[in-house]
Structure formats: structure tokens, C-alpha cells
Structure 1
Amino acid sequence: MPTNNFDISGLSQQQVLDAREKFGSNSLQYKKENGFLEAVNDLIKEPMVILLLVASVIYFISGEYGDGIFLASAIVLVATISLYQDSRSRDALEKLKNFTQPTCKVIRDGEIVEIPSDELVQGDSLVIEEGTLIAADGIIVRSNDFSVNESILTGESLSVEKDANKEDNNVFRGTTVVSGLAIATITAIGNETKLGKIGKSLESIEEEETPLELQISNFVKKMVIAGAIVFLIVWAINFFKSKDILDSLLKALTLAMSILPEEIPVAFTTFMALGAWRLMKMGIVVKQMKTVETLGSATVICTDKTGTITENRMSLAKIFVLGSDKITEPNSALTDTEKNLIEIAMWASEPIPFDPMEIALHTAYEKMVLKDERPNFELIHEYPLEGKPPMMTHIFANKAGKRFIAAKGAAEAIMNISILTETEKQQINEVIETMAKDGYRVLAVGEAQLEGDIYPATQQEFKFGFKGLVAFYDPPKKNIQAVLKSFYKAGIDVKIITGDNAATTTAIAKQIDFKGFERSLTGDELMQLSETELQQRVKDTNLFTRMFPEAKLRIINALKAQNEIVAMTGDGVNDGPALKAAHIGIAMGKKGTEIAKQAASLILVEDDLSKMVDAVAMGRKIYTNLKKAIQYIISIHIPIILTVFLPLALGWIYPNIFSPVHVIFLELIMGPTCSIIYENEPMEKNTMQQMPRPFTTTFFSWKELATSVLQGITITIGTLAAYQYAVSAGFDESLTRTMVFVTLINANIFLTLVNRSFYYSIFTTLMYKNNLVLLIISITLALIGLLILVKPLANFFEFTPLTIDQLGICLGIGFISVIWFEVVKWWKRR
């Protein structure tokens, strides 16, 4: 844990327990919506449930109690399946919410410790620093150049400066620290905070529907309208023939049920929620379900360098003191001027370092000095990291009045405000170039003097003496070359956007075989370009250096303007706007600030970019499997619709071959098949070798719909062929119905197997690891066996046992009506 340099001991463990007992935990608790009741309410409005209810009532009125009871039971079964799927989705999303609890730093027993924000108690000494989200209400007791964004409470987006000695010395839960550092004594937690009292208005925010959700919703609505029209036509035909209003209603309802693709929205919700849950298990936290849909379409990954491309394990590797002729390593044989350079660089850092470079400077100082002066000095004024290029200045003083005014930052920034000769400038630039070519990250260090206690408005107004350069080495991650290869193979461009200089970034990019390391563009150069020039340069350039928030945002917007689907990684306060603007904002779980995590749509728990390869793969897998499920649903609905409609419309001998009980049985088989089997399918081996799917691509493209319709029509031809064979052989209605039904079930099973891939053969897909395929197919076959062979069930469904020959004919027709698609797949593979 960081050293406590504040002379504040905080609460003891016993005081923490007492405060928790008295005031409770720091969590917001409101009356939540009952998810189960909400799901039941949605279910009652489902068209399929309404149709089943109407059909069941008609059967009871007609005196056919067996059919009425069956349909009433079917309603219960449909409801159970829907509620189970809904609970799976809700559980998955609930786990996501609970997976990454925010943390905060507090001083307890004299030590700075990091705890989950929920464990904060009233009276705690909360350490709040730049980029963090304030976890509870409190009063500032110590601060340095501290400012807060309180827009969540006030609506005012400008930051507010706060100080222990000012009238406005309160901090509030949910607000974010823009700059500086403070310690606040907690005065209110949980529901007692100002944010907590605002309450339910902040509890839930409705998400907009994604393009895919809208496509599915529109498709289902069209099918409902088509079902209503066909329902009226079939009712009219039957009524004119029989003059029996209830019987004709039942027959029309049968067809309406067969048309409704109610499995599609259920499949979509299940796939997205379980996909998010699977990603969470892989260490990728998706904050919104719609991100899962977008992942598979990513065309560009914009990544920062430090901590993403590199290890984020900065070590002080080289130092250069102005006036010397050598670059040295910080070892035990340092001269006094070299030691002084490291000391001034340390004083230019935060007293509690969290940046890896500042941690490295504090560590080097500890190793170098005999007496640690840090406890004797207090940070009395601070100029936060700002400017283009950026720099920061800290002013420390002890009780004796000794003062350090120390600055560090980009070499250009410190050189611009230091008094240097042309020779000195040339020497510094040569040293920087030498260090940067070897991949070192270089910072300049300066020191200033000041008479009196009136500090200038900006740090650039000080007259600094240029002390020298400190260079850090952050090695590339061991797996980064493999990660880049995976992105390139998947057709995804990678762009590095960093605040570091061009030479250092180019050196690291070259080491990791980064495509396009030869060309780079700085933030200042980028801001000079027109929109047209920018779009061309952004397309051709993969290395962006000396970047600042406005420049990062311009890159993201320029890529989006070219219809790229942009993923952006970031961890700092300055990355917030770009993370928000990207289609997929990716924050780092460990080194990411709370502001970055808030702005992002996805969090990598282990700060490992290889997880983004897994995330893209998962996004593509989910999309592909959902497409298989929906194409299966469309394909199998067509023969059900036409087998019900055509014998009636064409006036065949047995016009009503299926009743509502048969249709609902088929629906009960299809639901689990599409949602359970296809959701569990493994990723196909060519998935990550394909180009990203354009996000604008409609899910129901004519080509894919044509494939599903063609499959559906060939199965219809098969079922009607079985019908005509049975009639020509002189079989009665019961035996004809059994043959048609068994043919349709067989076709359904073969379709399930064939559609597991629209590219690889059935022999390949049979090797896929998915235990649910065998389970669901076995249950289906067992149920059919029971319906035909168990006499009471056979009588209820009006089925007749089949001979081996008849069963063979049904099996053969079902097989042929589906297996032809293997020829199409073979042609594709050629």
C-alpha cells in the first residue's frame, strides 16, 4: 500500500465496526422493480399466449375438455419456459452488475488501504484523487489544487475548486475529481448522501433499442400482421364451408399460431444476456447488452501504448544531467548532481504516487538517500498535468521554510520555459533522440525559485532551471505480437494513440511488428488538418503521438465518419470523451480511473488486450449462432404454416391435418432447440479469419432469408409428399396425420444438425462439442415415441402407430428434404 504522508491516522478497526453497526453500509437501496412480476406481465401480453388462451376457452365451450386441458397445460409450459429463459437472462445481467464493485482509498490505523466503496463507513478518512469517483459525502480536511465536477447533482459541467479553508469544503457521492488530491472525513453514506436522497430518478435509465433489436422487432410485428390477415382468411373459408363458428375459429387459430415466430425475441435476449455472462467469466465486463452485438463488427481498435501495448512496469532506466556529457544508469555510483536530479523529479511527483513513472521515481529516491525527507515536507501548492505538450509542477515545504518548486513533463514543455542556450538545446534534443530510439519514455525535470508566497496563476510563468532528463523503460507485453496478429488476421486495423513522443512510440511499435510504424502524426499536426484531409490521414496512419483529448476525439469521429466500427482503449480522465464517442469504449480494470470506467462500455478486468481478441471472437460467435437460430426458426415455421394452410385452401381430402394441439407441440420442441442448442454452439474455426460484419448489414438480408425460405419450402414439399403418399395408399386421416407429423419432426431434427454451420459439412459439425444437441434430439424422439405408441396419448393426438416401412418412408423424406443443403455448402467450400 502507498505510504501515508498526511499525518492522519483515520479510524481503527473497532471504530469501523462500531460505525457500520450504527450507520449501516454505503450502498444505495431503493424499492426495486420485481423482475419476475414484470416478466409475467410481459408474458400475458404475448400474442402466442393470448391465442392459446382463446383456443383453450373455445375447446372448453365446445365440450372438448381434453384438448382444453392440454392447451391450458401448454400455456403453463410456455410460461415456464419463457420465465426460465427470462430468469437466466436477468441472473446473467445481475452477476454483471455485481462483478466489478467500485473501490476507494481510505486511511485506517495510519495506513492507506483500498476497500470496496460499499465498505466505507461514516467517519472514515477518504483519499480522493484525480480521476476517481467520490464514494460518499464528506468534508475536506486536506487538499491540494483540488477541483470536482458536480454535474450529476447540479447540471453544471464546469469543475468547482474546493479547499478545506473555503466555505465550500463539502464533497458529494457520485461527483468526479477533475484535478488534485484531497482527504475528506465522511459525513453521510448510502441513502443519506445527497445523491441517495435524489433517489429513484437515478435508479434506472432506459436503453435505446439497437439496430438488431429494431430489425427483430419489425420482423416479428410484420409476422403478427400477416398472421392476423391469414387468420381472418382461414376463418372465413372454414366458416363458409361448415357454418360452425367455434370450429372455424379453432382452425384459424391453428394457422395463426403456426405463423407467429415468438421464439425470435426470446432467442435474441437469451443470446445477448448469456453472451455478456460468458464474457464476464473470461474477465471482460460488458456494461450494456448492446455492446455484445457491436463487438463482432469492430473494424478498428484504437489503443494507448502504456499498460496496453507495454507492461506498465516502468523502471527508471537512464538519466542525463544538463552540463554532463553522458547518459548514465541510476545505480549506486551516482554523482551528487545526478542524485539531485532524481530528488527534484521525485518532488515533482504526487506524494502518494499512483502513476508507474512516479512510483519508479519514489523507489529510486528511497534507494539513493540515507535520510528520507518526505515525511518532513508537505505539498502546499500544485499545478496539475496540463498544457500541450503537458507538464506538472509541485511545491513542497517543511516547517523550517525550505521549499522545493519542482516540475516534470514532456521535454518540449520544460525546455520552452527554461533559460537555455542554443548549444544546450541541441545537446538535450540529441540525448532525447538517442534515448527515444531505444524505446525509452523520456521526461524533462526543472526547478524554480520564488520569493514570497504569491504563486503565479500558471506554472508556465515560473522561470525554471533545466535540471536534466529521466528515461523510463516499459517493456512490451510478451503476448502483444500474437494479439496484433490475431487482430490483423480478423481484418481489424490497429492504431496506437499515445501521449508519448514519436521516437519512443516508433521504437516500441517496431519491436512488436506493428503495421505502419514508419508513419506517425502528432496531435498538433492533426488539429491543423481539414476534415477531408483528416479522414484520409487517419485512414493511412496507424501511429498517433503527443495526443491530447481533443485530438483523440477527432480521430474517433473521423473513423466513424468513414463507417468504421471503432473500439477504443483508455484509462485516464483525458480518455473519457473518446471512450464515450467510440462504438466500443474499453477501460482497463486495474489501471483505469473511475471516469474512464464510467465512460466505457466494456472493462478488461486484467488490463490484457488479448481479452479483446476473445471479446471480438465471442461477439462474432454470438451473432453467427443467433443467425443460425433465427434462420432455423424461419425455415421450420414455413412447413408448419403451409402444411396447415394448403390442404385447406386446395380442398384436399383431409383439410385440417393439424389442430392447435399439434402446432403447440411443435412450438414446444422448436423453442428449446433454437435457444438452447444454438446458443451453446462452439465458435466455427473460420470465424476469426473473416472480415468484420458491417454494422449496417440487416439481419434479415434477402440472401439469408432466401436460404431459409428455400429450406422451408423443400421441407413443406417433403411433408406434403408424405401426405399425398398416405392418401394414395388409402390410409385414413389418423395414419396420414401421423406420417405427416413424423416427417416434419424428422426434417426438424435433420435441419437442426445441417444448420449448425452454413459452411462446414454435417460430418464436421457432428464433431463440434455441444452435449445439448444429443440431449434435445433424444428428448424429442422419446416424446414422439410416447405420442404414437402410448394408446391414450395416441388417441388424444389422433395418431396411429406406424409400421417399419411407413417409418422408413417418413425418415427418408425428412432426410432428403433437408440434406440437399449439404451440396450448397460443398459448393461454397470449393
Structure 2
Amino acid sequence: MDASAQSEKSAQSEISDPVDRLAVDPAVTDAAEIARRLETDAARGLTGAEAARRLTAEGPNELRSVRPVPFWRRILAQFNDPLIYLLLVATAVSLGAWLIEGAPGLPVDAIVIAVIVVLNAVLGLVQEARADNAVAALSNMTAASSTVMRDGLLATVPSTELVRGDLLVLGEGDSVGADARLTEASSLRIAEASLTGESEAVTKNPRTLPAAAALGDRLNMVFKGTAVSQGVGRCIVTGTGMNTEVGAIATMLDRTEAHPTPLQTEIGHIGKLLSVVVIAIATVVMLTIVLAQGVSTPADFVTVFLLGVSLAVAAVPEGLPAILSVILSIGVQRMARQNAVVKNLKSVETLGSASVICCDKTGTLTRNEMTIQQLLTASGRVDVTGVGYRPEGELRQGTEPLTDPALRFEAQLVLGVGSLAGNAQLTEQDGEWEIQGDPTEAAFLVAAAKLEGTTGHMARFERRGEMPFTSERKMMSTLHQETGDDSLRIFSKGAPDVLLERCAYVQVGETVVPLTAEQRPRMLADIQALSAQAFRTLGVAYRVADENTAPLDEADEQGLIYAGVVGIIDPPRAEVTSAVQEAHRAGVRVIMITGDHPATAARIASDLGIVEPGATALAGADLDHLDEPGLREAVRDTSVFARVSPRHKLRIVDALQANGDIVAMTGDGVNDAPALKSADIGVAMGITGTEVTKEAAKMILVDDNFATIVAAVRAGRVILDNIKKFLRYLLSSNMGEVLTVFLGVLLAGALGLTGASSETVVLPLLVTQILWINLITDSGPALAMGVDPEIDDVMARPPRGINDRMIDLRMWVGIMSTGLVMAVVTLATIDLFLPGGLLPVLEPGTDGLTVARTAGFTTLVFAQLFNTLNARSELTTAFHRLFVNPWLWGAILLAILLQVAVVELPLLQTAFGTTSMDPLHWAVCVGMASVVLWVEELRKWILRVRA
């Protein structure tokens, strides 16, 4: 082997060996041993060249994405629909009939159907591309970077370029870019809710664990996708990409089964039903003609066969797939403007069918902005107005502004000391207020800014030391020196009961007095009262320190002066209460699922109107004791679940679905992904959601706002209504065509058709006329109806049940009755203009079959146009909001002009077997066609009276 080859082999070995040699649990392994195994310097990190080599060998630090679907497969997927199969068969049969007839002209019907099928595929592809682009844009917005030591220098690199062995440097506000073993930590707290579901930040330290521990208890490890809420630290990267804890969950996610949407199920049912109906109709009509009219010659058989094909085409609403895609696409665009990005067209309707919305509390129902709302001091209670991180509001005593000097001094002391005993920062950029650090600590800064003079007083102190918060101590303290003064002060905040144990004095106005044994129970009772209102409580204390107090230790946290306690809460979003009321009005249950304390969850749920005051929450520990039947019973009546893990969320979703609910589920954490995928429609958070969650979800909320979900429910219901509108219209109109031909053939002698023609097979309408009706009435008007504005109050009725058919019995009755009326008025019009029929003859003996057939043909077209007005609502009169849809009136006008043209223009007369009509004929056609409207109005009135 030559020297260069040997050198290359050695280099490759250096890349892979550190990875191979790490085969240990880093949490129970000393940090120095981890550094040795990964061949990295715990002080200087990797060299840039070594990091580049490892990146080449290991690949980027990103989750394995789903392999892109080839374009040809995406095209074929657009045709994977029962209705499309039916249309393709209809196209083939139409082409066959055209060839049997001798291939005259162009096969118009086959071409029209083929164009519609292709248009449907194009619409689906375009919308999927738009959704992909929207999701990609969200991903780009959340692209993270990390700070590492490379060649002994700090460098900022994209998190995707982290490799095992990198020395990762963490600070407040950072997103952890990879799984890593801590080597140093100072007051380091990590928010791991996205991974473990734990709502409180976890305090980290680099000590080696004595034994393997659960994920949430690995205190010397940090994990990809979590965030630093406080402190600083350094750590050695031990896992990247799919070799992280997030990657493990992403792998498990593939095993979770996604359910078809209700719309997919319903359209599949309709497609199968129409397949049977179409074959049956064509067969029955052809047999009826053969038996009733004595078909004997080959030419007659060809005519009958063509008629059967035409009726089959007429019975199939070939515009349905394309119109569905257009309507869903428009709905998607409307929802995107309302901050809801839908990834799949058919998911739009699912929200409209949702009977339950399961949502997290923090950030969705609440602002995710911790806010101080109350202060309790020795002199009384102070209320703080304003919510969120914008420092707007004031401190009030009861209903009046805070003016009492003693209470004002105490409030200023509580907020000033609480702000200084923390590490958060509050900044304004372009009119937006943002925090860095722990949200609870930031709440003190915001409240302090609302009390004039407090912020300026705080600026006089410089920090000299800190005793960090730990879960064992439940408090923290800082050492400060006042500018221009040698005296030192200790500022402390923490759990009120812990803090009171360390206090010997209490602040009363500007005076410090001893804290007596009688005062302690009263103070603890006040604190308990705040906790009972679901406030998170923090006590504040201070004292003057000795000159040699440095560094701080626990012995210095004695003899403190108790200043007061604050009540902090994550306030509900202002718009959520009305959104919850709207959801309840629509018959949609809202269920809160959170990792917070049950009392806090119940309080927020009560404030928002999710539950009645006094209702309690079911905790995750309670769920662990319930079997599946018990859980199904529990979810029927419980609307607040607290202290739950993501595993509990999946069980809750499954139990609701087992009870027959259509479930919308929100989530932002990695562990929420299985529940989101299992739900009928998973909704990921666009701001706080992880990439795994967004991948699993069918919809993404750009603003993380519950009100957006309710708005999407309304949009989904409007879309569902519009789908039902054009289904009602298309099927009833097509049924009118089928019944016209069927009854016309059956009653040809009584209507005078047989006597008016010498042909063996006499039809009330020609094949070309049937195809023309299908062309001008099934496309434009139906499409315009699909974008109809909201006619009925869609939120005033309960959601569609999981077993409810989109076309139920009442709708089928309406479809059949309307189709029958159309057939009757069409045949009655033909009868009126033919001698020897059932009805009195107009101008007897002057009209032949061509005129009568033209009049019947025109009447059926106009009847279907009147039917567009009927179909806009199942119960509401057609005259309600009659002119709100200009597209519909434009489509009706266009259809009228085309029908006039096909009747009056000589070229089209030849093609469609029509002849010109005088004003009387036109008036009769319009009048007879309008009967469809009046009969339907009567039927709707009867239904409204019964309701």
C-alpha cells in the first residue's frame, strides 16, 4: 500500500473510531472519559478541520426526513380516487361508443371528462406544492444555530453542522442543538417540555449519575430541541441527527397509524355507490327501450347503446373531483390568511367535522407570558393590571390607583428586589417587547416597569455574587452593592414557605419590625389563598450584608427581611373566551390537556369557560390507574387533564376516538407527535412547535392561537356545506336527466312521441343534448356554488357524527324529488307542444318533434339553473342572501347565453338537433322550469315547520 493510501485509511479511521468507541451511557460515564473516547479537548474543542471531516462521515445533524415522493408517483396519487376510476371508465366507454358509431367528428364527451380529470390532478399537485412551501418557510423561520469551541475559539455555526465531540457552549435563550454531556454548568436550567412534557425548567449539573436514569432525570445531559431558560454551561456533543433522543422518537413515529379523513371516507363511499347506480341506470334504461319500443336493427341497438352511455355519463358528476379540489384549495387559502397552514387538501373539511378539540394550555389558550397580577405585603394587597411582557398597566389598591405611601413603598421593594434577584432581561425592538431568560423572572421586570421610580432605583445596584436556584433549595439569592456606597445587600426570592423560614423581620412601610410567631400563620394563609386561585407564588426578602460577605453561601441566607409575595399566572389570551363559547355553541367540546398543576389548569379552564367553576382536573397519575374502558368513560365527562405526559395524550385521543368522536389535537413538543398523527387532525404550533411535530401534523397554526382553530372549524364547516351544496345540485340535476329519458321512453306513446316520429327508437332528448346539458350545468354553476359564502349559521348546529353520511336519507329524498320534478316539467313541456299528448295542446298541429324536443331540452337546462338556487341550503329559502355570490350569477348568465346560442344559431342547431323558438315557447320553458323552485320552496317550508 502506498503512503497516500495509508494516510487516507488512517484519516478515515480517525473519523469513525471516536464514534465507535463511545458505546457507553454518557450520563453514567465521567465527562473526562467521554472526551477521551471522542478524542476531543474539553477546553478547546475540536479543530475546524476535524469537525469538517466528522461532518462528512456522520452527515448533517438533522432528523432523517421522509424520502421525497417522486414526481411521477405524486401525479399517479392524484388519480387514486374511486370517482376518478369511474370517470376513466366512462371516458373509455364513451370512446368505444364513438368508435362504434364510426368516429364522427370529435369525441366531445370523452374529451370533456379527460380534461376534468387532468384539471383535478393539476389542482391537487399545485395545492400540495403550496402547502410544502408554507411548511418549508416555517422551518426556515426556526432554523437554529449553536455556539461551539473550535480551535480554542468561540464560533457560531448552524446546528446542522454540529458533530459528536464538539464542545457546545450554552447560554440563556439558546436552543440546544444536539444531545450532549455537561462538563460545566452555572445556574443552568433547561426547558425540556418539548421532549419530556415537564412544564418546569430542569436544573442541570455535570455530576456523573450513579446509575442509568429516565430521560427527565438525566441531570448531566442536555438534549436536542430543548432550550436554555437560565444560566450557562459547556458540554460535549454525544449524539446528533437520528442518534439523539428526538431522533429516537421520530423513528417511533413511523409506527403510529394515520387515519383517513372523514371526507376521504365519504367520497370513497359516494364513488362506490355511484359506480353501482350508474351501471344499474344504464342497464335498466337500455332494457326498457328494447322491451318497450321493439328494437330490432343494428342501428337501433347502436342508438340504444349510445343512449345508455350518455345516461351513465350524465349520472356521474364528473365535475365533482375537480370542484372538490377547487373548493378545498380556496378553503386552504382562506385559512392560510387566518394563520392556519393546511398540509393536505382533504384535511380542511376534517376540522369542520371535529366534535372535540384537545389543546394544550400554555401558549395556545394562554399567552405564554408569565405575568404578576397580585402582590401581598404587610400593609395589604396590590393588584397589577396589564398582561404579557409589554410594560403597560398600573398598580391599584382595590379599584383605585395605588397612592398609600406605605403600601407603595412595600410594592416597590418587592418588585425591585425580585427583579434584581434574577437573570432575565426585558428588551424592546421595533415596538415588540421580548425577554431573555426565565419567564417568571421576567415577570418581575415587567411589573417593576409599571410602578414609577422602581426601575431607576434598581439601576443603582451592581451585582457582586449569586447563589443559584436549585430544586433542593427552592430559592436563589444575589449579592449587590449600591453605587457610591460600600454597603452590600442580599436579595432573595423563592418558594414563600421556604423563604419565611429564613426571615426574622418583616417590612412595614419604610420600617423594619421583627417577624412574630403570630404573623407567620397569617402570612402562610395569605400565600395559600393565592395558590388556591391557581397563582404561582414567589416570596421576596432581603437584608443588609456584612462587608466580607463574598462569596455567598447558605449561611448568608438567614435573618432576612420579608418584603412580600407575588401571585404570577400565565394569563389567558383575550380572544380565547369568546372562541370557546363559539366552539360550545357549535357543539364542539374543548378539552384542556396540560402538564401544569391541576389547580392551575382548573382555574384557567374555568376562566375560559371550558368548564363550570368548581370543576376539577383529572391528573396523569389518575389515568395510570384506569384501564381502557375506564378511560373511555372518564373522557366522556372530563374536560381538564393536568400533570399528563405525552403518553397520556395519545391514550386520551384514542379513547375519544373509540367513543366515536372526531378529534382535533394540538401539540408543540416532540412527544406530542404520536398523538397528533393518531388524531383525526393533528394541529402543530408554528412558533413553538418542533419540526417532528410539524411533520406529524396535518395543520400548522402560525400564531399558536386557539381562536385560530375555532376560525378554522367555521371555515371547515362552510367548506363542508359547500360540498353538500354542489353534491345536492349535481346529483339532483343528473337525476333529472336520467328520469327524463327513462320516463320519456316508458311513456313515449302517451306523450305523443311515438306518433310524432317514424323512428323505431324515439327519445325525449338526443344524446348530444344530454351531453350538452351535462357540460354547461355541471361545470360553471356547480363550481360557483362551491365557493358560496356562508348561507346558514354553520356554528349553530352540532358537528357531523363520525357515522353520519354526507348524503343522508333526507338529502337523498330531496335529490330524488327534485330530479322527479325536473323530469315531469320537461316531459310536460314536450307534451304541450306535441299533438295527441296528455296535456292541452298549444297551437295544435303546428309543432313537430324537433320543436317539442327543443322546448323540453331548454326547460331541463333552465330547471337545473333554478335548482342552483334551491341547492344552496337544505332548509333556508332560496331568497335568503340571494345575491351574495356574484360568481354563481355569472355562471347562470353564461349558461343562459350558451343555451340561447345552441337553440338559435344555425351551426349549433345542426350539431344538437334544435330549432329556433318564438317568445311564447321561451316563456313556457322558463315558466315550467321555475316549478322546480316553487316545489322545493314548499318542501323546505314543510321541513322548517316540522323542525
TM-score bin, normalised by smaller chain:
0.7 to 0.9
Residue of 702, 722, 735 corresponding to 1:625: 722
Matched, 1:764 2:880: yes
**Aligned residue in 2 for 1:449:** none
Residue of 917, 920, 926 corresponding to 1:802: 917
CA distance in 1, matches of 2:706, 2:440: 21
Residue of 699, 707, 725 corresponding to 1:610: 707
Q: Report the TM-score, using the length of structure 2 for normalisation.
A: 0.65
How far did residue 134 of structure 1 move? 8.5
Rate the CA distance shift 1:122–1:813 in 2: closer, same or farther, 3 A.
Answer: same
CA distance in 2, matches of 1:810, 1:370: 92
Matched, 1:228 2:228: no
CA distance in 2, matches of 1:697, 1:58: 39
Structure 1 residues 326-356: Cα deviation after superposition (integer angstroms, max 9, x where no partner)? 9899998799999887777659xxxx95663
Aligned pairs (5 A) from 1:670-749: 670-673=777-780, 675-728=782-835, 729-730=844-845, 731-749=847-865
Residue of 136, 144, 151 corresponding to 1:105: 144
**Aligned residue in 2 for 1:215:** 266
- Counterpart residue type for residue 357 of structure 1: T
Structure 1 residues 227-281: Cα deviation after superposition (integer angstroms, max 9, x where no partner)? 3344455556559432335444323322222232333344444433432332122
**Aligned residue in 2 for 1:453:** none
How far did residue 569 of structure 1 move? 4.0
Please state whether the residue corresponding to 2:710 is helix, strand or coil.
Answer: helix
Structure 2: gaps of 5 or more residues: 1-41, 197-212, 385-407, 425-434, 449-454, 479-489, 502-516, 542-556, 755-760, 836-843
Equivalent pair of 2:367/2:571 in contact (CA under 8 Å):
yes
Rate the CA distance shift 1:90–1:786 in 2: closer, same or farther, 3 A.
Answer: farther
Please state whether the residue corresponding to 1:476 is helix, strand or coil.
Answer: coil
CA distance in 1, matches of 2:932, 2:558: 85
Matched, 1:436 2:534: no
**Aligned residue in 1 for 2:577:** 481
How far did residue 87 of structure 1 move? 5.0
- Counterpart residue type for residue 754 of structure 1: N
Rate the CA distance shift 1:509–1:820 in 2: closer, same or farther, 3 A.
Answer: same
Equivalent pair of 2:336/2:342 in contact (CA under 8 Å):
yes
**Aligned residue in 2 for 1:32:** 70
CA distance in 1, matches of 2:43, 2:124: 53
Residue of 449, 462, 466 corresponding to 1:371: 462
Please state whether the residue corresponding to 1:301 is helix, strand or coil.
Answer: strand
Matched, 1:65 2:104: yes
**Aligned residue in 2 for 1:665:** 772
- Counterpart residue type for residue 795 of structure 2: M
Rate the CA distance shift 1:476–1:52 in 2: closer, same or farther, 3 A.
Answer: closer
Rate the CA distance shift 1:412–1:619 in 2: closer, same or farther, 3 A.
Answer: farther
Across the two proteins, how many residue pairs are aligned to each other?
A: 761
Please state whether the residue corresponding to 2:804 is helix, strand or coil.
Answer: coil
CA distance in 2, matches of 1:42, 1:562: 30
Structure 1 residues 665-716: Cα deviation after superposition (integer angstroms, max 9, x where no partner)? 2222244246522221111342112122222212232221111111111111
Please state whether the residue corresponding to 1:603 is helix, strand or coil.
Answer: strand
**Aligned residue in 1 for 2:440:** 357
Equivalent pair of 1:90/1:273 in contact (CA under 8 Å):
no
Structure 1 residues 403-429: Cα deviation after superposition (integer angstroms, max 9, x where no partner)? x9x9978x899999xxxxx99996675
How far did residue 632 of structure 1 move? 1.2
- Counterpart residue type for residue 293 of structure 1: E
Matched, 1:791 2:830: no
CA distance in 1, matches of 2:910, 2:256: 53
**Aligned residue in 2 for 1:456:** none
CA distance in 2, matches of 1:576, 1:72: 45
Please state whether the residue corresponding to 1:371 is helix, strand or coil.
Answer: strand
CA distance in 2, matches of 1:732, 1:112: 96
CA distance in 2, matches of 1:622, 1:51: 28
Residue of 252, 258, 267 corresponding to 2:314: 258
Equivalent pair of 2:286/2:308 in contact (CA under 8 Å):
yes
CA distance in 1, matches of 2:566, 2:706: 28
Equivalent pair of 1:414/1:466 in contact (CA under 8 Å):
no
Q: Report the TM-score, using the length of structure 1 for normalisation.
A: 0.73
CA distance in 2, matches of 1:425, 1:811: 89
Instruction: Name whichever of 492-501 and 630-639 sits farther off.
Output: 492-501
Matched, 1:301 2:357: yes
CA distance in 2, matches of 1:776, 1:581: 42
How far did residue 508 of structure 1 move? 4.9
How far did residue 829 of structure 1 move? 3.6
Structure 1 residues 276-296: Cα deviation after superposition (integer angstroms, max 9, x where no partner)? 332122111234444423322
Structure 1 residues 353-378: Cα deviation after superposition (integer angstroms, max 9, x where no partner)? 5663254468899957833569x999
- Counterpart residue type for residue 313 of structure 2: M
- Counterpart residue type for residue 759 of structure 1: L
Aligned pairs (5 A) from 1:218-367: 218-232=269-283, 240-244=295-299, 246-316=302-372, 356-360=439-443
- Counterpart residue type for residue 370 of structure 1: F
Rate the CA distance shift 1:428–1:364 in 2: closer, same or farther, 3 A.
Answer: same
Structure 1 residues 71-130: Cα deviation after superposition (integer angstroms, max 9, x where no partner)? 565456445644554455445544544453251332589999999x8x967899988999
How far did residue 221 of structure 1 move? 2.4
CA distance in 1, matches of 2:524, 2:782: 63
Matched, 1:752 2:868: yes
Equivalent pair of 1:481/1:513 in contact (CA under 8 Å):
yes
CA distance in 2, matches of 1:663, 1:134: 66
- Counterpart residue type for residue 486 of structure 1: E
CA distance in 2, matches of 1:546, 1:161: 17
- Counterpart residue type for residue 266 of structure 2: Q
Equivalent pair of 1:104/1:114 in contact (CA under 8 Å):
no
- Counterpart residue type for residue 703 of structure 1: R
What fraction of aligned residue pairs are identical, expressed as a percent?
24
Matched, 1:523 2:619: yes
Rate the CA distance shift 1:522–1:216 in 2: closer, same or farther, 3 A.
Answer: closer
- Counterpart residue type for residue 783 of structure 2: I
Equivalent pair of 1:133/1:595 in contact (CA under 8 Å):
no
CA distance in 2, matches of 1:40, 1:606: 31
Instruction: Name whichever of 494-503 and 473-482 sits farther off.
Output: 494-503
Rate the CA distance shift 1:539–1:109 in 2: closer, same or farther, 3 A.
Answer: closer
Structure 1 residues 381-435: Cα deviation after superposition (integer angstroms, max 9, x where no partner)? x989xxxxxx999999xxxxxxx9x9978x899999xxxxx99996675243232
**Aligned residue in 2 for 1:816:** 931
Rate the CA distance shift 1:583–1:8 in 2: closer, same or farther, 3 A.
Answer: farther
CA distance in 2, matches of 1:493, 1:285: 23
**Aligned residue in 2 for 1:563:** 660
CA distance in 2, matches of 1:135, 1:826: 64
Structure 1 residues 425-451: Cα deviation after superposition (integer angstroms, max 9, x where no partner)? 9667524323235553236899xxxxx
Instruction: Name whichever of 550-559 and 629-638 sits farther off.
Output: 550-559
Aligned pairs (5 A) from 1:569-648: 569-572=666-669, 579=676, 582-594=679-691, 596-598=693-695, 600-648=697-745
Rate the CA distance shift 1:395–1:648 in 2: closer, same or farther, 3 A.
Answer: farther
Equivalent pair of 1:572/1:592 in contact (CA under 8 Å):
yes
How far did residue 783 of structure 1 move? 1.1
CA distance in 2, matches of 1:189, 1:750: 64
Rate the CA distance shift 1:794–1:213 in 2: closer, same or farther, 3 A.
Answer: same
Instruction: Name whichever of 548-557 and 265-274 sits farther off.
Output: 548-557
